[in-house]
Amino acid sequence: MTTRRRTRERVVRLGRSMRYRADRFLQSLSTWAKPPQLTAGAFATVVLLGTALLALPAATETGEGAGFVTALFTATSAVCVTGLIVVDTPEYWSTFGEAVILALIQIGGLGIMALATVLTMAVGRRLGLRMAVRTSSEAKSLTLGDVRELVKGIVTVTLIAEALLAAVLGLRWWLYYGESPGRAAYLGLFHAVSAFNNAGFALYSDSLEGFVTDPWICVPVAVAVVAGGLGFPVWLELWRFSRRRRERYHWSLHARITLVTTAVLLAVGFVSFLVLEWRNPATMGGLDPRDKLLAAFFQAVMPRTAGFNSLPFGEMNTQTLLVTDILMFVGGGSAGTAGGIKVTTFALLAFVILANVRGEPTVHVAGRRLSDGVVPQATTVVLMAIGLVVTATLALMTITPFSLDEILFETTSAFGTVGLSTGITGELPVAGEFIIVFLMFVGRIGPITLASALALRRRPRRYELPEERPIVG
């Protein structure tokens, strides 16, 4: 046996041993840690690490270091891909601080997509998960190798999409706005990562208001926000659809609901912004009709949930803010970078209402009957989300002088990890900032872990009590 062959066999044995040890470690870890605990712990660890890095003197322009609350708020907003800020990003943070924020956005976006996709597939196969990144090795289960391939696919799609968007934006800032090649590339990369991950962080003090009439900036950013908010399962189906004949491809119920509901909500948002703000001189009243269409489309996309804005929300009509609240609360697709209760949850409850109005005992959607456990899961997620937003709104109304419209907009934006604001974020007291931090964190990981936990912990009742029907309505 040659030396090269012996070396190759040793490397193979070492690789098998490492994979075996890693698998055993994951199994031992899963005996005491559950998916919600691991999810919260992992994201909390990244938030604390980001807080420590942003508190360094090198992270600020002044070199004095950010305060704990400022660093914690910014790190949470970046990891939870929200975009709410208490300080001006380009003026307060140094290049090192901006790089930390960019890294936190990428980690948060990829982490959420990978985790949510694994949990979604596990729920779809009716498996019992012991942890977020590892499932049992029994028949029909999602193995560690499957998870590895999923994560690899998510990373690949994400990096390709971000690279394409960065190239388009960088060329625009270089060739049209006269930025140096290095500065243009940096601006393109930062905003590409922020847009695709639905973060909404911008390197301009007024977000993207200066580009409200530029389709080469607004349209690519809006497309990236929609793509990131659809979720990896939908991307996968779109890719399979492109490789097969249309008449032979069968769309899953999840993909159909996500695509149709997203399109409907985008259309509703577009028409609402266009009608309600058409004559508002503080927003789009002074724009040309073509520019008004572009501004309305861009702002209809952002509640999907990215915090960019090309119009000042602090100057918008109350009706527009209410419509935006609803869109932000719904959010985007499951297993994506968007927040909110998710469009599938919203659509399923709409079908439940329709079935009850018709007097039908079961809920049917697109030729499929919903399983019995879906409706209680969706109802629980929505009611807990409403309770959280209402409680936080009441608390902020107690400790701040702002109006209900402003506070409700802020809390809904934080819970939906949107990042849009009427401008009151930086004026909140310390207690108010902690409330927003809690909302961002729970809004980012809460719906995913809650929905998966409800689906994966179903257990039969050993007995039933006597039935009685209370009066409803």
Look at residue 15 in the predicted model and tell me its pLDDT: 57
Going 406 to 407 to 411 to 412, the CA torsion angle's sign is: negative
Cβ atoms of 280 and 245 closer than 8 Å:
no
**370/216: higher pLDDT:** 216
Which of 270, 268, 289 has the alpha carbon at shortest distance from 279? 289
**Does residue 334 have a pLDDT over 90?**
no
DSSP string covering 374-439, please?
Answer: HHHHHHHHHHHHHHHHHHHHHHHHHH----HHHHHHHHHHHHTT----SS-GGGS-HHHHHHHHHH
**Does residue 342 have a pLDDT over 70?**
yes
State which amino acid sits at residue 143: T
Look at residue 116 in the predicted model and tell me its pLDDT: 57
pLDDT grade for 128, boundaries at 50, 70 and 90: very low
**Does residue 20 have a pLDDT over 90?**
no
pLDDT grade for 410, boundaries at 50, 70 and 90: very high
Tokens of 404: 């209900």
Percent above pLDDT 90 for the chain: 49
Tokens of 64: 């004095």
Task: Note the pTM of the prediction, 2 decimals.
Answer: 0.83
Q: Which helix (H) or strand (E) holds 20?
A: helix 3-30
Which of 25, 85, 11 has the alpha carbon at shortest distance from 423? 85
Mean pLDDT (whole number) for 455-466: 66
Mean pLDDT (whole number) for 92-112: 90
Name every residue whose Cβ is closer than 8 Å to that of residue 389 and which is 6 or more positions away in sequence.
Answer: 329, 408, 411, 412, 415, 439
Q: What share of the chain is helix, strand, coil (3-state, %, to 5)?
A: 65, 0, 30
Cα gap 421→83, rounded to integer Å: 9
For the chain, which residues make up each domain, given as ranges? 33-456
Look at residue 361 in the predicted model and tell me its pLDDT: 82
Cα gap 191→334, rounded to integer Å: 23
Q: Which helix (H) or strand (E) holds 113?
A: helix 95-124
Residue 343, Cβ neighbours under 10 Å: how many? Answer: 28
Q: Can you say whether residue 468 is alpha, beta or left, with left for phi > 0 and alpha for psi between -120 and 50 degrees?
A: beta
Cα gap 406→423, rounded to integer Å: 9
**325/355: higher pLDDT:** 325
Query: Residue written as tokens 């990981």?
Result: 445
Query: Residue written as tokens 């942003």?
Result: 54
Q: What's the chain's average pLDDT?
A: 82
pLDDT grade for 64, boundaries at 50, 70 and 90: confident
Mean pLDDT (whole number) for 430-457: 77
Going 361 to 362 to 365 to 366, the CA torsion angle's sign is: negative
Within a 13 Å sphere around the CA of 461, how many CA atoms are in the beta-carbon half?
3
Cα gap 315→170, rounded to integer Å: 30
Which of 440, 425, 424, 431 has the alpha carbon at shortest distance from 395? 431
Cα gap 469→465, rounded to integer Å: 12
Look at residue 16 in the predicted model and tell me its pLDDT: 61
Measured in degrees and rounded to the nearest 5, phi and psi for residue 405 equal -60, -45
Name every residue whose Cβ is closer than 8 Å to that of residue 46 and which is 6 or more positions away in sequence.
Answer: 79, 104, 107, 108, 111
pLDDT grade for 132, boundaries at 50, 70 and 90: very low
Look at residue 71 in the predicted model and tell me its pLDDT: 95
Going 424 to 427 to 429 to 434, the CA torsion angle's sign is: positive
pLDDT grade for 396, boundaries at 50, 70 and 90: very high
Look at residue 254 in the predicted model and tell me its pLDDT: 83
Mean pLDDT (whole number) for 145-154: 66
Mean pLDDT (whole number) for 264-272: 95
Return the top range by mean pLDDT from 128-137, 231-240, 269-278, 326-335: 269-278
Least confident of 9-23, 236-250, 442-456: 9-23
**Does residue 32 have a pLDDT over 50?**
no
Cα gap 205→226, rounded to integer Å: 23
Cα gap 48→53, rounded to integer Å: 9
Mean pLDDT (whole number) for 72-99: 93
**245/130: higher pLDDT:** 245
Mean pLDDT (whole number) for 308-337: 90
Which of 331, 414, 472, 330 has the alpha carbon at shortest distance from 82? 414
Look at residue 147 in the predicted model and tell me its pLDDT: 58
Which of 209, 213, 176, 210 has the alpha carbon at shortest distance from 290? 213
Which of 387, 376, 382, 395 has the alpha carbon at shortest distance from 437? 395
DSSP secondary-structure letter at 372?
T
Least confident of 129-138, 190-199, 237-246: 129-138
Look at residue 250 in the predicted model and tell me its pLDDT: 76
**Does residue 93 have a pLDDT over 70?**
yes
**Does residue 262 have a pLDDT over 90?**
yes
Cβ atoms of 144 and 136 closer than 8 Å:
no
Cα gap 281→283, rounded to integer Å: 6
3-state class (DSSP) for residue 317: coil
Least confident of 27-41, 153-167, 301-315, 454-468: 27-41
3-state class (DSSP) for residue 134: strand
